[in-house]
């Protein structure tokens, strides 16, 4: 694993954008695995800036997102489709038809999960997967569990995740309890993984995930077994990591 210690959030975002940019430049029709959440917002802003300056071309890029809430319309301002449109897709020349977010409204969730796995497979896999990390070590919405789920599946969100998400909803009742997420197997098949973390609140879980045992109780710990991981964090998030 390569670790990049950035001075602050802005520097972390630029370093992460450098890594994504190098993939897009060297393989214009690459498949980007994308994440939502607070952490990658600065990285997306940086990518938009580079596109606007004429340094990046997304016209042939394809994307697959990690996850989506069950029950939210794509136009709901807390849906992950909406997040991706407003934080990246609407501002660069990516073809929206080439962007994929799991469907959270499907009547047949199992069929939707199988379809999503087929989308990833038919694209030839993911060239680089961006991951944030939950305070409990979740990646995508793969919460601490008894085993590592392989393919796309529906999850009941952990209480701590529901509480962390509550800040984005008017009332606790509106916070989704379920999500559809890419499995750990699909994430691990990505050719490269870019983990972004910031803030001292992430310091304990970062150390646990990368210095502790590999266990489904800390889903991100499986990344220790991936041959091509880059961890980009600000110095607060990486302050307890031994490397
Ligand atoms: C987002 C996702 C989540 C987040 C994680 C960290 O698509 O899959 O695993 O990456 O919850 O979220 P933030 O960045 O808000 O701390």
Residue 220 near residue 158 (C-beta atoms within 8 A) = no
Looking at residue 165, its pLDDT comes to 86
Neighbours of 110 (CB within 10 A): 11
Q: What is the pLDDT of residues 71-82, one digit of tens each?
A: 999 999 999 999
Cα 166 to ligand 1 centre (Å)? 14
Q: Residue written as tokens 């980007």? A: 32
* More reliable by pLDDT, 169 or 130: 130
By most ligand atoms within 8 Å of CB, the mutation choice from 9, 68, 133 for ligand 1 is 133
Residue ID of nearest Cα to ligand 1 atom 1: 36
Q: Is 34 in the pocket of ligand 1 (CB under 6 A)?
A: no
Q: What confidence score (pLDDT) does residue 208 get?
A: 98
Which residue's alpha carbon is at the smallest distance from atom 3 of ligand 1? 140
User: Lowest mean pLDDT: which of 62-66, 87-91, 114-118, 171-175?
Assistant: 171-175
Instruction: State residue 145 phi and psi, 5-degree precision.
Output: -155, -175
Q: Over pLDDT 90: what percentage of the chain?
A: 95
Please state whether the predicted TM-score (pTM) of the whole model is above 0.95.
yes
pLDDT tens string 26-84: 999 999 999 999 999 999 999 999 999 999 999 999 999 999 999 999 999 999 999 99
Query: Is the distance from the beta carbon of residue 68 to the nearest atom of ligand 1 less than 6 Å?
Result: no
pLDDT tops 90 at residue 153: yes
Q: Does 97 score more than 90 pLDDT?
A: yes
Q: Stretch 166-176: mean pLDDT, rounded?
A: 91
Q: Which residues pair with 196 in a beta bridge?
A: 232
Query: Is 125 within 8 Å of 33 (Cβ atoms)?
Result: no
Tell me what the pLDDT averaged over the chain comes to. Answer: 96
Scanning the chain, the segments in alpha helix (DSSP H) are 9-26, 41-52, 80-87, 109-122, 159-165, 184-188, 203-211
Residue 215 — pLDDT band, cuts 50, 70, 90? Answer: very high
- Interatomic CA distance for residues 95 and 166, integer angstroms: 32
Measured in Å, residue 211 CA sits from the centre of ligand 1 at 20
- For residues 220 and 133, the answer to whether their CB atoms sit within 8 Å is yes
Atom 2 of ligand 1: nearest residue by CA position: 140
How much of the chain, in percent, has pLDDT values that exceed 70?
Answer: 100
User: Using CA of residue 224, residue 33, residue 12, residue 139, what is the dihedral sign?
Assistant: negative
Q: Crossing angle, helix 9-26 and helix 41-52, to 10 degrees? A: 50
Does residue 160 register a pLDDT over 90? no
Binding site membership of 36 for ligand 1 (Cβ less than 6 Å): yes
Instruction: Give the Å distance between the CA of 132 and the centre of ligand 1.
Output: 5
Domains of the chain in sequence order: 19-231 (3.40.50.1360)
pLDDT at 164: 85
Ligand 1 within 6 A of CB of 140: yes
Sign (positive/negative) of CA torsion 76, 193, 112, 154? negative
Active-site amino acid positions: 67, 136, 138, 143
Atom of ligand 1 nearest to the CA of 196: 14
**22 ligand 1 Cβ < 6 A:** no
pLDDT at 9 over 90: yes
């Amino acid at each position: 694993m390569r670790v990049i210690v950035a001075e602050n959030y802005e520097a972390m975002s630029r370093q992460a954008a450098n890594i994504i940019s190098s993939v897009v430049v060297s393989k214009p029709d690459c498949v980007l695995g994308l994440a939502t959440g607070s952490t990658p917002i600065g990285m997306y802003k940086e990518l938009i800036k580079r596109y606007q300056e004429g340094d990046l071309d997304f016209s042939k890029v394809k994307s697959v997102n990690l996850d989506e809430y069950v029950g939210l319309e794509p136009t709901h301002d807390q849906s992950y489709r909406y997040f991706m449109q407003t934080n990246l897709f609407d501002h660069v020349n990516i073809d929206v038809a080439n962007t994929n977010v799991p469907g959270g409204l499907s009547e047949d969730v199992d069929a939707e999960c199988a379809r999503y796995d087929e989308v990833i497979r038919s694209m030839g896999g993911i060239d680089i997967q961006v991951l944030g990390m939950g305070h409990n070590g979740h990646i995508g919405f793969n919460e601490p569990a008894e085993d590592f789920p392989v393919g796309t599946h529906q999850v009941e969100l952990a209480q701590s995740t529901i509480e962390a998400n509550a800040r984005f909803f008017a009332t606790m009742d509106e916070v989704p309890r379920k999500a559809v997420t890419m499995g750990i197997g699909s994430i691990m098949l990505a050719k490269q993984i870019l983990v972004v973390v910031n803030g001292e609140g992430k310091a304990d879980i970062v150390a646990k995930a990368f210095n502790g045992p590999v266990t489904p109780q800390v889903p991100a710990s499986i990344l220790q077994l991936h041959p091509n991981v880059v961890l980009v964090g600000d110095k607060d998030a990486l302050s307890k990591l031994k490397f």
